[in-house]
Structure 1
Amino acid sequence: MNRPSWLATVRLSPAASSGASAPARLALTGGRTRDRSRSRFGGVRAPVRMALVLLLALVLVRLITVTPPDARVSTAIPGGVRIPGPPPRPDWPATGEAALTVPGIGSLGTSSDVRPRPIASVAKVMTAYLTLEHFPLAPGRAGFTLTITRAEARAEAVDLRQDQSVLPVAAGERLSERQLLEGLLIPSGNNIARILAVYEAGSLDRFLAEMNTTARSLGMDHTRYTDPSGFATSTVSTAADQLRVFLAALRFPTFRAIISTAAVTLPVAGTVTNYDPLISEGYDGKTGSDGAAEGCLAFVKDLRVGGRSVPVVGVVLGQGVGQNTTTILDAAGAAAQALVHSVAIRLAVRTVVPAHHRVLVATTAAGTRVTGVTARALSAIGWPGLTERLRVRARRLGQAVHAGERVGTLSLAGPLPLPVGEDPATPVRATASARAPGLAWRVGHLL
């Protein structure tokens, strides 16, 4: 029978046929030779397969255990925001000068005509301020007590003959600190200004030096005091400077209480009234008037805004014409009213940051971006043109972001006051969802 050419025929070598002990050798006839190297190659392949299996296992473990980082949050709003709209334009008086501010909100500046000029009895604000600085007087307290000397009683009579503003006193009369301040600020007694000056500093000269030193420390660079009452026309200042000392004096509740008093009864003088022409309309202040200074008024008027009392503080100098006290003080009062009105119509509860305003951006490790917006509007008391500071606090997020999730907080950081009951902060919430990074991200971050 014929065999296929590829079929091997096994033959014993001569050595094998003779029974020799040498190994048998196989020979292929009619086909390809089979080499013992094939079995050796098979032995090398097993470790390679093992290494590949191990490598695959390591890759799978890495894919399972690699952890994407949390979503990153960045701020998308500046640190301060300006209230939109035109700022108020104060109705400055046509003559003289003025300065205006709303403490805690902002300054309205000064009128264009600014120069040192006589200030009359507005100078007594500094006298009251220094008295309260050295002898603080709590509400309801009387403070120290002085006995009026014969010399002081005679000096009051001389002042009266010179047509000065005085508080009638008598030798031996005892007046408390509160009563002296009432006599200084309500009927504007020049004689009381001197009595307080000597008591406070030991002498009139030392008190004048103290007045001018204090003026420098308050930044009143255009002010010169030559007497404690303002009767001397050489005592000069500007509206801006007098606003500084008036604000300093207002820090004392006793000062504010006295200048808001329409009338007071004193032992010898009896009932004396306040020269302030607007006292009945809630303008608390200190007047000054004479032919050189004309009508002057340092005032504070409380406005009601957002359920809160907001003071408007100002000074007007050089109002009216002539020496008639009523006429020139009425002119000063009219100037003050015009200024307050021009601010009041612009002072309101303003939206600083509206609802749904973009504040934060959350970015997942896969690069997906989600915007965070304010949950509600934030409001403050002010006028257009003012800037309110903002504070942003981002929360730590996970790998994913969910729609509506709180991603941070936006707060008003001042200086503007808030309406009563207003929360200064609002949550910032995500507008959409972003999934955590998946298999594609893990494959890309194996190394």
Structure 2
Amino acid sequence: MTHRAVTAASQRASRPHPLVVLVRALVVALLAAAAVLGVALAFAPPPAVAATSVPIEAAEPGAASVAWPETARAAGYAVVGVDGAAEAWGSDEAHPMASITKLVTVLVVLDAHPIEGDDRGAEITLGRPDLVALGEALADNAPIAPVYDGMVVTQRDLMEWALVDSAGNAAWSLANWGFGSIDAFLDASAAWAERHGLEQTSLADPIGLSARSVSSAADLTRIGLLAVADPVVLATLQLEEVAIPGIGIAPSTNRILGEGFVDGGKTGTLKVWGRNLFVTAERVVDGEPRRIVAVVMGTIAADETDEAMLTLLDSLWDDFQRRTIVPAGTVVAEFRAPWGATTTASTLSDLDADVFGAQQPTATAEAGAVEPGAPRSEVGQASLTDHDGETSSTPVRADGMLAAPDLAWRLTHPVDVVGWYFD
């Protein structure tokens, strides 16, 4: 047997080169790092996915079923407290208001000299100009309230005589007192109309005997809303009669007061134009009081005017209804993960609201983030506020589980996945 002698040189020859050792070490380190990275990528917790709002597809609105008065030249209505629940029909031009002008006169004067509660307002001493106005009203065959020089009345007396009995001289005296002259009153009425956006309303006198005291059906419904919003004006329009010195008890000129839920109004007649009628009516619908203002313009006979108004009002009450605005199952949010998984969230129950005609309350929804892989659950709520200010809501629930990213996506998007550890 032959033995090879072990020498220092032979030992050096059997050792691996340092570069080989380094390469081997790097390979081992890389393999270890790859293993660690692989584990990290495979088990990195995916982030929650935020919701993206989806426009709510509300149910189709209804339409107001209105029996417009075919014998009139124009008409209009508005529902108190319901934005957008107003409509005009027929001629959209400005026409003579006749004695409805007196209602505008009262509103303009009250704007400058308001009355609160049951107060009768300022005391007014009538003089020579008021007697002249009385004579002019008599000459025009207009209703009057007898007055005399030095007579002391209240602001509310003149309002009641003007609105209930339609006394022309009462409206003239009220306007003249309120602003010091009729010219100043007319300037104030123009500013008042402009401030309220009444572009087709213009006064040439405070009584309505002038055919140049005009408004449109659309403007008069807005004026009606202003009238019923003032408790003093509404209470005056609702009076069935008024006591006038020298005459006695004068009934309201509104012949349908008390019929068809009509509880207030103002008439107007002018030979060169015809008849106008403004009314307000209140009725309890589904347990809630609902108030409407309406106007009919340019009719001929009084009976025809009254019938047209009552028919118009009667057609409107059925347009108050409780309707489903957002049905259950309406998608209000979606979730889109970077790895391609998607799901949506929907309402759990119907959202209903009290509406009028085509009115469509706006629904809103809020949804939080969804955790990938978690069971579907409630993620927010949807809400709806009707015109009464009543808010209803329903939970919003995810429609399915949002799938977590698979291993293939994780391994091909390492930068994204590692970043999850630092979010």
Match of 2:355 in 1: 382
Match of 1:10 in 2: 3
Identity of aligned residues (%): 27
Q: How does 1:120-135 map to 2 (within 5 A)?
A: 120-135=98-113
Equivalent AA in structure 2 for residue 426 of structure 1? T
Counterparts of 1:358 and 1:216 in 2: how far apart (Å)? 45
Match of 2:414 in 1: 446
Report how far residue 396 of structure 1 moved. 3.2
Match of 2:161 in 1: 183
SS at match of 1:192: helix
SS at match of 2:153: strand
Q: How does 1:324-363 map to 2 (within 5 A)?
A: 328=302, 330-363=303-336
> Cα–Cα, structure 1 residues 25 and 69, in superposed 2: closer, same or farther, change >3 Å?
closer
Counterparts of 2:4 and 2:299 in 1: how far apart (Å)? 141
Match of 1:202 in 2: 180
1:309 equivalenced with 2:279 (yes/no) = no
1:67 equivalenced with 2:31 (yes/no) = no
Structure with the greater alpha carbon radius of gyration: 1
Any conservation in 1 of the 2:85–2:357 contact (CA below 8 Å)? no
SS at match of 1:398: coil
Report how far residue 94 of structure 1 moved. 2.4
Any conservation in 2 of the 1:83–1:350 contact (CA below 8 Å)? no
> Cα–Cα, structure 1 residues 362 and 307, in superposed 2: closer, same or farther, change >3 Å?
farther
> Cα–Cα, structure 1 residues 353 and 386, in superposed 2: closer, same or farther, change >3 Å?
same
Counterparts of 1:75 and 1:363 in 2: how far apart (Å)? 11
Equivalent AA in structure 1 for residue 242 of structure 2? V
SS at match of 1:388: coil
Which residue of 26, 51, 72 maps to 1:95? 72
Any conservation in 2 of the 1:66–1:446 contact (CA below 8 Å)? no
Report how far residue 288 of structure 1 moved. 0.8
Q: Give the TM-score taking structure 2 as reference length.
A: 0.84
Gaps of 5+ in 2: 416-423
Any conservation in 1 of the 2:73–2:90 contact (CA below 8 Å)? no
Report how far residue 203 of structure 1 moved. 0.8
Any conservation in 2 of the 1:305–1:349 contact (CA below 8 Å)? no
Report how far residue 11 of structure 1 moved. 5.7
> Cα–Cα, structure 1 residues 305 and 210, in superposed 2: closer, same or farther, change >3 Å?
same
Any conservation in 1 of the 2:54–2:332 contact (CA below 8 Å)? yes
Report how far residue 60 of structure 1 moved. 5.4
Q: Give the TM-score taking structure 1 as reference length.
A: 0.80
Moved more, 53-62 or 247-256: 53-62
Counterparts of 1:243 and 1:24 in 2: how far apart (Å)? 116
Counterparts of 1:400 and 1:310 in 2: how far apart (Å)? 51
> Cα–Cα, structure 1 residues 92 and 106, in superposed 2: closer, same or farther, change >3 Å?
farther
Q: How does 1:268-283 map to 2 (within 5 A)?
A: 269-281=247-259, 282-283=261-262
1:428 equivalenced with 2:372 (yes/no) = no
> Cα–Cα, structure 1 residues 399 and 221, in superposed 2: closer, same or farther, change >3 Å?
same
> Cα–Cα, structure 1 residues 224 and 158, in superposed 2: closer, same or farther, change >3 Å?
closer
Equivalent AA in structure 1 for residue 392 of structure 2? P
Q: How many residues are matched?
A: 411
Match of 1:370 in 2: 343
Deviation string for 1:80-137 (max 9, x for gaps)? 7463345534423323211222242424532233444332111111101111100111
1:248 equivalenced with 2:226 (yes/no) = yes
1:417 equivalenced with 2:410 (yes/no) = no
Provide the alpha-carbon RMSD of the alignment: 3.2
Counterparts of 2:159 and 2:59 in 1: how far apart (Å)? 43
SS at match of 1:249: helix
